[in-house]
């Protein structure tokens, strides 16, 4: 048993993807403390999950319907965190998979590094057919890439943006104190969150293990749909905004004006 809550935000019913995602939770060598499926106002998702056979996970699984009216990814995670009971939490997108060793490693690294607030996995990036493309986050283990081997720092983030926090294991208290995820940060909410955590001196470490299998640029995903809707200038705008907003824990309304 661990002290890690696993949050799975599900905004759309895609049975095959969701089935693979749940299977990866069932395969964990060490089970999470609890599994929270955070659903939106889509009743088909609620019905599906409420009738799903979770097998061994049944006793630790809850389906919670987000009734806040905010169904973007960040709000779904924040909602799940408020509902969670574990000391730490992680999350899994319903179209991705956790590596079977991820929760186990989370437990081991929390024990070895209790001062760390955010543990990122090495992400195994695949194409739509499941073929390996690259790793993400692994570079912090390259000698002299960051200020301290294995840790992500603010100076490195100023220069390099392509880190992925999918599957990150986070100390819940530090997450809430630090202002949680900002829904107004649009596409750069990951980047802004990591900048903010490092600015607040919350140690961010990459566990040098494959923790998360992420389908890169999956057609139909929220990320891809959103990416299609913005141009290069807007993209730059959000990166620059992230570099300014991370000083604040409050999520402020931001509007892009071309």
**Rule CB under 8 A: which residues touch another protein?**
99, 101, 104-105, 108-109, 111-113, 122, 134-135, 138-143, 145, 149-150, 208-210
* Burial class of residue 42 (count of CB atoms within 10 Å of its CB; 0-12, 13-18, 19+): middle
CB 83 within 8 A of CB 38: yes
Instruction: Quote the least distance from Cβ 229 to another protein, whole Å.
Output: 31
Question: 143: burial class by Cβ within 10 Å (0-12, 13-18, 19+)?
Answer: exposed
Judge whether 241 and 188 are in contact, CB under 8 Å. yes
- Taking each continuous run of H as one helix and of E as one strand, the counts in the chain are 9, 10
Residue among 143 and 228 whose Cβ is closer to another protein: 143
Taking the complex as a whole, how short is the minimal distance between the CB of residue 104 and another protein, in angstroms?
A: 7
The answer to whether the CB of 119 falls within 8 A of the CB of 168 is: yes
The token duo for 178 is: 């630090």
Question: In this complex, which beta carbon is closest to another protein, that of residue 152 or of residue 180?
Answer: 152
The residue written with tokens 């097998």 in the block is 55
Cα Rg of the chain (Å, integer): 17
Distance in angstroms (rounded) separating the CA atoms of residues 151 and 156:
10
Q: Are 32 and 117 in contact (CB under 8 A)?
A: no
Three state DSSP letters for 114-153: CCCCEEEEEEEEECCCCCEEEEECHHHHCCCCCCCCCEEC
Please state the closest distance from residue 109 (CB atom) to another protein, in A: 7
- Minimum CB separation of residue 108 from another protein in Å reads 6
> What is the nearest approach in angstroms of another protein to the Cβ of residue 117?
18
Specify the residue, 147 or 177, whose C-beta has the smaller distance to another protein.
147
Query: Among residues 46 and 215, whose Cβ is nearest to another protein?
Result: 215
Closer by beta carbon to another protein, 18 or else 123: 123
* Cβ-based nearer residue to another protein, 71 or 150: 150
Closer Cβ to another protein, 74 or 137, answer by number: 137
- What sign has the CA pseudo-torsion 203, 204, 209, 212? positive
Q: How far is the CB of 132 from another protein (least distance, A)?
A: 8
CB of 110 to another protein, least distance (A): 11
């Amino acid at each position: 048993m661990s002290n890690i809550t696993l949050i799975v935000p599900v905004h759309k019913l895609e049975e095959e993807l969701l089935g693979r995602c749940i299977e990866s939770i069932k395969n964990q060598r060490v089970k999470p403390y609890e599994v929270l499926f955070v659903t939106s106002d889509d009743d088909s998702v609620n019905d599906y999950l409420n009738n799903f056979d979770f097998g061994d996970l049944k006793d630790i699984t809850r389906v919670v319907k987000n009734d806040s009216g905010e169904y973007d990814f960040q709000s779904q995670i924040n909602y799940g965190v408020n509902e969670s009971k574990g000391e730490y939490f992680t999350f899994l997108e319903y179209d991705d998979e956790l590596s079977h060793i991820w929760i186990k490693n989370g437990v081991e690294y929390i024990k070895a590094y209790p001062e760390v607030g955010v543990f990122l996995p090495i992400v195994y990036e695949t194409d739509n057919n499941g073929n390996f493309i690259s790793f993400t986050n692994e570079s912090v283990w390259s000698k002299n890439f960051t200020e301290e081997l294995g840790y992500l720092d603010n100076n490195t983030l100023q220069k390099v943006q392509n880190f992925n926090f999918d599957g990150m294991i986070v100390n819940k208290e530090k997450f809430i104190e630090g202002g949680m995820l900002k829904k107004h940060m649009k596409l750069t909410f990951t980047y802004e969150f990591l900048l903010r955590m490092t600015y607040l001196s919350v140690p961010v470490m990459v566990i040098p293990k494959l923790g998360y299998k992420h389908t890169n640029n999956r057609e139909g995903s929220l990320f891809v749909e959103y990416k299609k809707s913005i141009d290069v200038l807007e993209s730059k705008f959000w990166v620059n905004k992230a570099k300014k907003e991370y000083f604040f824990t409050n999520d402020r309304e931001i509007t892009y004006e071309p």
